[in-house]
Amino acid sequence: MRNICVPFTAVCMTFALLAPANSAQRDIDADVCVYGGTSGGVIAAVQAARMGKRVVLVEPGGHLGGMTSGGLSAVDIGDPRSIGGIAREYFTRLVATYGKQLNWDQPFKSKGGPATGGAYSIEPHVAERVFDEMAADAGVVVLRNARLDQVKKEGAAITELRTTNGRTIRSKMFIDATYEGDLMAAAGVSYTLTREGNAPYGEQYNGIHYTPKYEPRTGHLQPRGNGRVTGGQGVWDRDFPLDPYVVKGDPTSGLLPLVDSGAPGQQGEAAPGVMAYCFRLCLTTDPDNMIPIAPPANYDPKQYELVARFIEACIANGDDMDLRWFSKHDPLPNSKWDFNTATIGGNLPGVSWQWPEATYDRRTVIAKQIEDYHRGLLHFLATDTRVPPKLRQDVRRFGLPKDEFRDTGGWPHQLYIREGRRMVSDLVLTEKHTFGKTIAADPVGLGSYGTDVHEIRRIVKDGVVTREGKIAGGRGGFGPYQIGYGAIVPKQSECDNLLVTFALSASHTAFASIRMEPVLMVTSQSAATAACHAIDQQVAVQDVDREQLKTKLIADGQVLTWNPNH
């Protein structure tokens, strides 16, 4: 656990602003300042504006919507009946652009795999447009390309947020809606980047973890038409006992590229590391809307020797391989597809570890490294003679869409930050909450997804390549669970006018369930409501009247409790 109060510094590119050069005129006074124009950041800003407050939304990049408009187009949601408020309004409005309606009163139905996700499939540019429209309609002041430099505090209260391009935002209340928890960290709030281990909170899946179904093995079953074997596991999740060394069988020859060094550790022990990041690509099969996926300038097929060995193992297993072995992909409107990751896919384990505390410039370098890896992987699969012809041909069908991510050449502008800093507050949500063994008080929303942890490392264990930290399971059959108000407010002694809605207070594996975009949109709306109440009641966010908050949240359509017989 860390308790840091330092300026968040980064060198920023120079962006033209419409405001006058006079510094006093560039200052902004607001009631509520939301830092992070993610999906939840927009929803928080809209909610506060609808409640009559002066709101400024500060986004470090150039786009609103985070991953919901940044490539995560087949949205995972768990149980749609657990989502309410502006999140429900947003998705309803979004799919209406395609003449669709969503059945909010119905659970997802299994199609041979987990009964979740996919029903909300949309194009990224349409998702971003709806976010832009909602912010504009609510009268939110939006500052783009405004990176956090430092915060000023008086006692336990933030008074100013300063950006690297010379803006100063003074506000009564602040909301951190970043994936990384940047504002929270700069304000000196306690957080962790450690997988806690099982002991501190009495958990089962935290810390170093090896899931039996992802242990390297041979004899994988052949998939059905949906790409899944009996039991539901997809061909994109196949782990074989691959030799990790440059010269097979010779540890002195060194590790292959894409294999991390480090000891396996003991199951359940505390350990550093966040989930692997990737880009969620939106690709098209429409030749009239296609940009070919160019390899990186530094492309070297030797970097993908592990991929070649994976293909060898699949062929030896009798697999008739196609692109699904490297990326589950779900259809979107207009001949587009949402590309997920796989055992060997877009994820680049280990590279994400630096991201949460890196400067913005360093993050740019990390994002480019992951992009280059992913571009190189697709080029390898499309061109290398070690790749089966059927798979090569399948990959060649796809390209980047001309009408998406126009300012980045069709490549997503948002890296998928699955996990960053996690606040440590008086309430820490754990597996006991997500599995229903403990019920959090004062709910501000519900979580309903399974325990979904992407690998932390790809290392050598028992002489073969192994994914450490990978978990994809349920929560013991428990339905939607309550996310308590205490998980989105810091300890009062640390900051009393800040709410944290993405990097909220949760253990590593509890966060793995909570982290879905619609849920974080819900927590953000509730945080904005609480911020407005704190202003009106002239109290710290920790002292907001819980009954009044509950009444307002319900009036605004939030779902706070779950009836097992729903």
Q: What is the pLDDT of residues 251-263, one digit of tens each?
A: 999 999 999 999 9
Look at residues 212, 277, 208 and name the one whose alpha carbon lies nearest to residue 508: 208
Across the chain, what does the average pLDDT equal? 93
C-alpha to C-alpha distance for 186 and 458, rounded to whole angstroms = 32
Q: Phi/psi class of residue 234: alpha, beta or left (left: φ > 0; alpha: ψ in -120 to 50)?
A: beta
pLDDT of the residue at 9:
35
**Overall average pLDDT of the 91-111 stretch:** 83
Residue 440 lies in a domain: yes
Tokens representing residue 223 in the block: 């998939």
- Check pLDDT > 50 for residue 11: no
**DSSP per residue over 176-230, as a string?**
E--SS-HHHHHTT-EEE-EE--STTTT-SS-SS---GGGS--S-PPPP-TTSB-T
Instruction: Flag whether 49 is in a domain.
Output: yes
Strand 148-154 versus strand 157-163 pairing type: antiparallel
Separation between Cα atoms, residue 16 and residue 291, nearest integer Å: 29
* Structural domain for 64, as ranges: 28-195+420-450+477-555
User: What is the Cα–Cα distance from 367 to 101, expressed in whole angstroms?
Assistant: 36
Tell me if 179 is assigned to some domain: yes
Give the pLDDT mean for 318-325. 97
Distance (Å, whole) CA 355 – CA 245? 27
Q: Is residue 300 part of a domain?
A: no
Q: Could you tell me if residue 67 is inside a domain? A: yes
Whether residue 334 lies inside any domain: the answer is no
Q: Is residue 132 part of a domain?
A: yes
| Domain count within the chain | 1
| Span 325-331, average pLDDT | 94
Q: What is the mean pLDDT of residues 209-233?
A: 94
What is the value of pTM for the model shown?
Answer: 0.94
Span 49-98, pLDDT tens digits:
999 999 999 999 999 999 999 999 988 788 889 999 999 999 999 989 98
Query: Which of 6-20, 60-74, 312-326 comes out lowest in average pLDDT?
Result: 6-20
C-alpha span between 487 and 483 (Å, rounded): 7
Q: What's the CATH number where 181 sits?
A: 3.50.50.60
**For the chain, percent of residues with pLDDT exceeding 90:** 88
pLDDT band, residue 364 (cuts 50/70/90) = very high
Q: What pLDDT is recorded for position 5?
A: 33
Give residue 100's pLDDT band: very low, low, confident or very high (50, 70, 90): confident
**pLDDT tens-place string over residues 408-422:** 999 999 999 999 999
Residue 176 lies in a domain: yes
Distance between CA 371 and CA 278 in Å, rounded? 8
